[in-house]
């Protein structure tokens, strides 16, 4: 069993993985590399709630997109359910976002997402599910986050690609920023953890290439030539290799798959 697993997800999402890994006997440590907060322009989000009836579907790029979008819903009226006055579908790329919609009382029958057994949870997999329903005039609202990075993120790549497919099929796309992301404020303890975990055989668990970019930016002098990364998408794997991680393995994002992959890296 590995000496340590570094969970790099945002703070509010990391705890589930840390608890599950610790329960399985791993020395799991949270080191959030993306800080998430509400979008600075809440009025824009509320305005989209008021216009929700004009869309055929809402595509959420992440669980955070769901949570922060619903945070600005000032009505108690249901949405994405059979009882809703507005007949509109929700679209998500993976199980985390799907679970966030369930917490918001959405009906699974009104949610489009890749099947759990599909093995791929991204915009490409979602498009394979929904492309048949996108016709000329079909209107999609994409709920996304804003990053402090100038470079494209996983969310940026996915939602831009998805938007292009909708447009090419004759649909119309609009965007709204529901939350913002930035790099971490690292403490001396965090930096000591980074230095040690880069060389001691720890497994760095990444579900976002933005987390890797933030890590490299926060620790520009750190070498990763002895570090090991476990990632949840090929695009993240590419960024990890470019950062210098010597071992990069890919896994589905479900915890049982991640644990099996961690075992295979011993």
| CATH number of residue 250's parent domain | 3.40.50.10090
Q: What is the pTM of this model?
A: 0.85
pLDDT of res. 266:
66
In degrees rounded to 5, what are phi and psi of residue 7? -95, 120
CA separation, residue 68 to residues 42, 77, 129, 156, 213 (Å): 10, 17, 25, 17, 24
pLDDT along the chain (266 residues), means of 10: 84 90 94 93 93 97 94 87 93 93 96 83 92 97 82 60 96 95 94 97 95 96 97 94 96 89 87
Residue 169 and residue 256 in one domain: no
Residue 155 and residue 223 in one domain: no
User: Which residue, 111, 117, 35, 34, is CA-closest to 80?
Assistant: 111
Which domain range does residue 218 map to? 5-34+184-264
In degrees rounded to 5, what are phi and psi of residue 157? -60, -50
Asked if residues 157 and 75 have their Cβ atoms less than 8 Å apart, the reply is no
Q: What sign results for the dihedral spanned by CA atoms 100, 84, 117, 160?
A: negative
Residue 84 and residue 195 in one domain: no
pLDDT of res. 95:
87
Distance CA 243, CA 141 (A): 34
């Amino acid at each position: 069993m590995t000496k340590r697993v570094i969970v790099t997800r945002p703070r509010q999402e990391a705890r589930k993985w840390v608890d599950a890994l610790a329960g399985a006997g791993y020395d799991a440590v949270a080191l959030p590399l993306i800080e998430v907060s509400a979008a600075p322009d809440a009025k824009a989000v509320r305005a989209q709630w008021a216009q929700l009836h004009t869309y055929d579907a809402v595509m959420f790029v992440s669980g955070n997109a769901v949570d922060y979008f619903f945070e600005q819903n000032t009505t108690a009226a249901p949405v994405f359910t059979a009882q809703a006055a507005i007949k509109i579908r929700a679209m998500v790329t993976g199980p985390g976002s799907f679970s966030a919609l369930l917490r918001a009382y959405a009906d699974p029958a009104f949610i489009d997402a890749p099947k759990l057994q599909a093995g791929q949870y991204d915009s490409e997999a979602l498009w394979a599910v929904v492309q048949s329903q996108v016709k000329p005039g079909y209107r999609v609202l994409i709920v996304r986050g804003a990053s402090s990075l100038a470079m494209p993120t996983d969310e940026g790549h996915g939602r831009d690609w998805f938007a292009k497919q909708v447009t090419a099929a004759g649909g119309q796309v609009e965007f709204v920023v529901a939350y913002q992301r930035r790099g971490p404020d690292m403490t001396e303890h965090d930096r000591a953890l980074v230095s040690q975990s880069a060389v001691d055989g720890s497994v760095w668990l990444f579900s976002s290439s933005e987390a890797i970019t933030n890590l490299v930016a926060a620790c520009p002098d750190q070498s990763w030539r002895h570090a090991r990364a476990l990632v949840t998408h090929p695009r993240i794997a590419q960024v990890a290799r470019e950062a210098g991680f010597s071992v990069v393995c890919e896994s589905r994002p479900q915890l049982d798959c991640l644990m099996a992959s961690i075992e295979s890296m011993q």
